[in-house]
Structure 1
Amino acid sequence: MAQFWFLFPCFIVASAYKPVVLVHGIMDNAESMEGMKQFIVEAHPGTNVTLVNLFSDLLSLTDMWDQVAGFGDTIRDVMANSPDGIHLLCFSQGGLSCRGVLQSTPNHTVDTFVSLSSPQAGQYGDTDYIKFLPTFLKEELYRLFYTPDGQKISVGNYWNDPLHHDLYLKENVFLPLLNNEINSSYSAVNKSGIVRLKKLVTIGGPDDGVITPWQSSHFAFYKTGSSTEIVETRDQEGYQNDAIGLKTLDERGDFIVYNITGVQHIYWHRNRTVFDCCIEKWLT
């Protein structure tokens, strides 16, 4: 019997999916994001996923500007090797680091930024964030955090005490600049980094238990002078003034908000349901 052999040319097929950079949260490390990496490669085979192995565990308490610089070096390296763009998925405190990178890099090539349960409008609560300071109550933490030494601690850089708003604006060297709440040389560039995004996705929920208020995940926060009344995102002065570009994104339909019940903070990046419903489709 005659045998016929057909030779087909070999093709190298590049992944159809953009690279994804994952950034961990406070008192955590890159290994904690392995579950999310697995979700991504299962849903989008061939995706190049980078877990940034910096500022792990206790080093995650390093001041936020140092973290923005460190994470930024890695993220920009990935961008340089990815001319078609990349995605950022950043958890908890890492979401603020990533936003700092975006707002410091007006020519970035990030398509989608997924902010996964991150204190984007700040933190004010007795949660696991401050267990390393067990002798302090949240009402007194401004006495530490709004000092030069307190501003060397990451949490101090986004501690937003609504009862001491004047001190927050005066002494906090990170979040007020990031939010364009005060004028600085940084103000000219930090809005363009957000507007340049194709999608900003924020994910959070009322059962988080760490981000306080949990609405901070979506840029909402307590009303100045109150530790109970929430000013929702679209009612925030910063949104209405389009201080960092949120309103621009929203009016384009590119500011995506997910409120998910039943998820505690430490499980967001390990929850397959959250990935399937709120993340997977934005990483194409």
Structure 2
Amino acid sequence: MRWVSLLGAIGVLGSVHGAGTPVVIWHGMGDSCCRPTSMGRIQELIENGTQPGTYVHSLMIGDNTLDDTINTFLKPVNEQVQEVCDYVAQDPALADGYHAIGFSQGGQFLRAVAQRCPSPPIKNLVTLGAQHQGVYGFPRCPGESVELCNLMRELLNYGAYTDLVQDILVQAQYWHDPLHFETYVEKSQFIGEINNEGPVKNLTYAENMAKLEKFVLIKFAEDRTVEPVESQFFEFYQPGSEYDILPLRESPIYTEDRVGLKALDLAGKLEFLTIEGSDHMQIPTQWFMDNVVANFLQ
């Protein structure tokens, strides 16, 4: 497969197929699989905090890290998700299942993998700062790609739900406009579909998610990038309002169990954690080791 290149294998060099459950990680917007100060560091922490020889793969979409970064803005989400589904199905190290950790937009993308591609199974799915209900606001763009961030803002200003922008811009595909809810449901190529917002529901989404052993949602309390921050806990503005947040357990995605959240919650498999005092993707090392690695990756 083209995107699983030599550089893509950087995420697994030095790993041996040991007794620990394998771990797959997916980075966020403006980042790449293997930057030593971001996903490279996360991979190192996981390898050091789990059983010796645990297989850890940091996903790269593209032939190199530059492609990987560009694709966080300009490669359609559904294509990325399908490529990851194909990869995990073909990697023998993952055949018996794996844990998955998604950072920022990588969180909702891995959740789509869990919903659409249950084999091999994700055991524990952990998302940090994910936009599970999408975003409604222009984020303070992380990473080093200032030009791509500026392009993103220009395209969203042009019209998030135009066919042109939906077809090419990743962030438009999880744009959720509560003031134009019917347009969002009709035009959203990713987040509206993966949240079963349309009139025809995909029942397998809830069935597949309910198979998780744990679904862990982690929110950054002082997040200045994700708008609204409550999206990290599957909460969002009420349709028709850009101020009033609808609590999760009162929202249709939960009450109708559109993606398995209610089933997971009732089974004690849905976890909510908050990193107090932290901005988007500012993850204290010891907190990550104590609350994520020790609890959900062993």
* TM-score, normalisation: structure 1: 0.86
Q: Does 1:159 align with 2:175?
A: yes
Question: 265, 279, 283: which is aligned to 2:292?
Answer: 279
1:217 aligns with 2:232: yes
Instruction: Give 1:238's aligned amino acid.
Output: I
One of 122, 125, 128 as aligned partner of 2:134: 122
| In structure 1, C-alpha distance between the alignment counterparts of 2:88 and 2:225, rounded to whole Å | 27
Give secondary structure in 1 for the equivalent of 2:94. coil
1:83-110 CA distance string (max 9 Å, x none): 4321001111111211111111134411
Read off the aligned partner of 2:131 and give its amino acid letter: P
- 1:127-149 CA distance string (max 9 Å, x none): 1259424765xxx9475110111
Going from structure 1 to structure 2, the CA distance change for 1:238 and 1:14 (only over 3 Å counts) comes to closer
Check whether the contact 2:23–2:98 (CA below 8 A) recurs between aligned residues: yes
For 1:77, give the aligned amino acid: Q
Q: Is residue 25 from structure 1 mapped to residue 39 from structure 2 by the alignment?
A: no
The residue number in structure 2 matching 1:48 is 55
**Structure 2 residue aligned with 1:242, among 252, 257, 276?**
257
1:195 to 210, 234, 241: 210
Which residue is 1:3 aligned to?
none
Cα 1:148/1:49, change in 2 over 3 Å: same
State the distance in 1 between where 2:173 and 2:189 align. 6
Between structure 1 and structure 2, the one with the greater Rg is 1
Q: Which amino acid aligns with 2:172?
A: G
Q: CA RMSD in A?
A: 2.2
Unaligned runs of at least 5 residues, structure 1: 1-12
> Does the 8 Å CA contact 2:152/2:171 hold for their aligned counterparts?
no
User: Structure 1, residues 6-25: CA drift from partner, whole Å, max 9, x if none?
Assistant: xxxxxxx9733200001111
What is the aligned partner in structure 1 of residue 69 from structure 2? Answer: 57
Aligned amino acid, residue 132 of structure 1: N
**Residues in 2 aligned to 1:70 and 1:14: alpha-carbon distance in whole angstroms:** 23
SS of corresponding position for 1:21: strand
Deviation by residue 1:184-220 (Cα, 9 ceiling, x = unmatched):
4x71322222111110001012212111111111111
Q: Work out the number of aligned pairs and report it.
A: 265
> Which TM-score applies when normalising by structure 2?
0.82
Identity of aligned pairs, percent? 29
The reply on whether 1:73 has 2:80 as its aligned counterpart is no
> Structure 1 residues 193 and 241, CA, compared in 2 at 3 Å: closer, same or farther?
same
1:65-104 superposed matches below 5 A: 65-78=78-91, 80-104=92-116
Task: Please say if residues 220 and 276 of structure 2, whose CA atoms lie closer than 8 Å, have aligned partners that are also in contact.
Answer: yes
Distance 1:23 1:134 in 2: 20
